Amino acid sequence: MAVGCLLLAAVASWSGFLLVVAGRVIPGWLVGSALLLVLLVVMGTLAVRRRVTGRTPAGNRGVPARLVLALLGAAAGLGSAVGGVGDLTGGADYRLLEPPGPGGCRAVTRETSFLVAGRGEVYAVGAAGIGRRTGSWTADDGLRPIARGSYELHWGDDGGVLLVSGTPTDPVMSGLQEVACR
C-alpha cells in the first residue's frame, strides 16, 4: 500500500495535471503533497502503535524495500516542492473559464508572471475533474490576459478554442489554443 501511495504522490507531483473539485482548481503538486502527508501520518501512527504494543510488522521489510520507499518519498517531496515554488514565485493564478463545453468539458487556465515575462497554460478538464495541459502562450511585460478578461472561449462538438489576446504594446504569442477533452 505504501509503495502504491508514494508512487501516486510522485506521479501527481511531477505530471503537471490538475483537479477541479466543486469548482475549485487543485494543482497536481498540491495533490501529491496531500498524499505524501497522509501517508506519513499513517506510517507514523502504525510505527507508534507497533512500538507501544511490541508487535513487529508482518513481512519484515529489507533494505531494498526501504530504499524504494525512500526514493519514492523523495521524488514525491521534490516534485511537490518544485511545483509549489514555481506557483508561489510566479504568483500562479488558476481560473475555471466559462462557459462549460459539451459533455462536461471545461477549460482551466494557469497564468504566471516573472520579471517582464508572462506565461499562460490551458488545461482541458473532463467530466471526472481531471485536467491535462493542452497548450500554452507567452505574453510581453508580464501581462495576464485571462485575469484581464482578454480572451474568447468557443465550444463546438469536438472541443473548444481559446483565443487569448494582448494589447498592441504587450502582445500575446501563440494565443490560439485548442481545448479538447478526448
pLDDT of residue 25: 94
pTM: 0.81
pLDDT of residue 17: 85
pLDDT of residue 80: 77
pLDDT of residue 129: 93
Where are the extended beta strands (E) located within 87-129? 93-96, 106-114, 117-125
DSSP state, residue 169: S
pLDDT of residue 126: 92
pLDDT of residue 15: 75
Q: Angle at the Cα of 113 (from 108 to 119), degrees rounded to 5?
A: 50
pLDDT of residue 149: 93
The residues with which 121 forms a beta bridge, in sequence order, are: 110, 136
Low-confidence stretches of the chain (pLDDT beneath 70): 1-3, 5, 13, 56-63, 65-66
